A and B are shown apart, each in its own frame.
Chain A
């Protein structure tokens, strides 16, 4: 990257580190931190949407809607999440390839299950073996987003079901006595009021989501954990920048990254909560108004 870096063997001290930390592989490592942030940014709205849909469905009077809704929310209970993270991507991958097999080469001899193997014709493989490496990464990331979305959607559904119940019944009764329809009550009373009850649970989920991101590594993606292991392992003299086993320092760096992310989220949550409880008539908002000399 810098002009002094052309011959690393001559470098020492600060120059060595400056060149070492700006090798193309290290730049990929730093880039993979954005992968983590991207995953959080994509999964959060997906999970919130799925969870909201599930919570609304589970409140429905029709069992055709409420049963799937409840079943989905209950899915994440009792089973370690990591089981889902291992299961969902493989299952989805096989489901996609099976569908493509039905479309592209349904008359494949022997079918897809051959002994202990799952085989589809090469034209039905996802991504195609001729595809550029970037598509393999994109496909892997897509599967990761879907599995994170499904798992965290169930969690978010769980939180939202509770916060729907927490809205005071008198509010809904008042709405009904004004002659509002069910959907008017839902849109104008229930949804605007439930968020403040959902926020503590959702903030908890946000922290959980942040701390679940290293599991990308288990899905085979080249994420920060992968690069920390790769770059940190000891490099002999045949490498341009030989060094002993530095994985400890790389993982310490990851640890600090996550601690920072947690601290920032906590501070942001406090500010958001203060804003949302403004004027809600709770203890949190009462403290504010009394400072200004009563309501």
Chain B
């Protein structure tokens, strides 16, 4: 029965599929056909539109990990700081974002971004001050990105803190003996070693974060003009066709492919980070995709 339906969907021809790519290939960022397919949904339409939604997942994934990485390094430095206030502040931030569900964080942040400017309260986030002029933060591209950024920074800083503890003490002593300044020791000894040790765990974190980007459009942030991510379109199709057996496996395949790309990236960069380490002592990345947040 399923095969018959797939065949019917496929038999509409390749040429019309090319047109579908033109119409819906960039639909998720507002380019192309305005109306989503409603009746006689073909397999091609599902694959193209869900693939177009993937743009958002990649956008959130790359930007949140890219910026979150540096914030995580600062957070782990803060947790090892001699200043009590820095230690408490960074540990509290990490507990807040690791101890609560990302789903609730999205809801909370969205309400905060919508409500606070309305009642005239201002909220100083450090990076930006929330007031009447920051309506753009209620849009997913900025608001959800901000939450994902904080979330991945908290999880990554936990990984980095652990890795900093594991840096061999002899190397630090040797650096101090050769007269390096504190900053030089961090820049040349601590940081490269920490990165090398943290890389396998950090790869898993990057994969989890990428998977978590599917939550954005199910958690308060509205998909403006039906411009959503891959899962948003998949659930749209499942709702329209009453057939979950086509769109969800499509999403799954896309995500497995991108997960493999992430693993490839981390293997290559990981062997670069381990370049000065004897072969048998290298830390190899292992794919252990387990976590939910």
Q: Knowing A81-B292, A255-B104 touch, does A113 contact B251 (C-beta < 8 A)?
A: no
A259 and B100 in contact, given A83-B248, A211-B293 (Cβ under 8 angstroms): yes
A158 interface residue, CB < 8 Å from B?
A: yes
- Select A258's contact among B101, B218, B231, B252, beta carbons within 8 Å: B101
Given known A80-B214, A81-B211, contact A251–B104 (CB-CB < 8 A)? yes
Per-position 1/0 for A77-90, Cβ under 8 A of B: 11111110011001
* Smallest Cβ-Cβ distance to B251: which chain A residue: A83
Cα–Cα distance between A284 and B23 once the two chains are bound (Å): 61
Interface residues of A toward B: which range? 35 or more
Contact of B105 among A80, A90, A232, A255 (CB under 8 A): A255
The tally of residues in B whose CB lies under 8 Å from a CB in A reads 53
B194 CB to closest chain A CB, in angstroms?
A: 22
Q: Contacts A78-B256, A78-B289 known; A211 to B100 CB distance under 8 Å?
A: yes
Q: How far, in angstroms, from A193 to B293 measured CA to CA in the complex?
A: 29
Tell me the minimal C-beta distance from A252 to chain B in angstroms.
6
C-alpha spacing A244/B259, complex, angstroms = 44
Q: Say yes or no for B186: interface residue by CB 8 A criterion.
A: no
Residues B99 and A158 in contact, CB atoms below 8 Å apart: no
Task: Judge whether A113 and B1 touch: CB under 8 Å.
Answer: yes
B135 to chain A, nearest CB (A): 15
Q: A117-B242, A214-B104, A248-B112 are in contact. Are A259 and B99 (CB under 8 A)?
A: yes
The answer to whether A189 has its CB under 8 Å from any CB of chain B is no
The answer to whether A94 and B244 have CB atoms under 8 Å apart is yes
- Inter-chain CA distance A262–B293, complex, in Å, is 12
Q: Which of B116, B211, B238, B243 contacts A80 (CB 8 A)?
A: B211
Q: Among B39, B96, B103, B241, point to the contact of A259 (Cβ < 8 A).
A: B96
- Residues of B191-220 whose CB lies within 8 A of A: 211-212, 214-215, 218
Give the distance in Å from the alpha carbon of A228 to the alpha carbon of B103 in the complex.
13
Is there a chain B Cβ closer than 8 Å to A254's Cβ?
yes
Q: Is the CB of A245 within 8 A of B115?
A: yes
Interface positions, chain B 244-273, Cβ under 8 Å from A, are: 244-245, 248, 251-252, 255-256, 259-260
Contact partner of B231 among A86, A204, A210, A215, CB < 8 A?
A86
Q: Among residues 1 to 52 in chain B, which have CB atoms less than 8 Å away from a CB atom of chain A? A: 1, 5, 39-41
Q: Chain A residues near B259 (CB, 8 Å)?
A: 78
The answer to whether B235 has its CB under 8 Å from any CB of chain A is yes
Q: Are A213 and B108 in contact (CB under 8 A)?
A: no
By a CB distance below 8 angstroms, the chain A residues around B173 are none
A residues 43-102 touching B (CB-CB < 8 Å) = 76-83, 86-87, 90-91, 94
In Å, the complex CA distance between A46 and B269 comes to 40
B101 and A211 contact, CB distance less than 8 A: yes
Tell me if B102 counts as interface (CB < 8 A to partner A): yes
User: Nearest A residue to B119 by beta-carbon distance?
Assistant: A244
Check B99–A208 contact: CB distance below 8 A. Answer: no
B290 contacts A by Cβ under 8 Å: yes
With both beta carbons as reference points, the residue of chain B lying nearest to A79 in the complex is identified as B252
A155 located at the interface, meaning its Cβ lies under 8 Å from any Cβ of chain B in the complex: yes
Instruction: Known A-B contacts: A86-B238, A251-B108. Give 6 more (CB < 8 A).
Output: A78-B289, A79-B256, A80-B231, A83-B231, A208-B290, A229-B107
Residues of B whose CB lies within 8 Å of any CB of A are 1, 5, 39-41, 95-96, 98-105, 107-108, 111-112, 114-116, 118-119, 211-212, 214-215, 218, 231, 234-235, 238, 240-245, 248, 251-252, 255-256, 259-260, 287-293
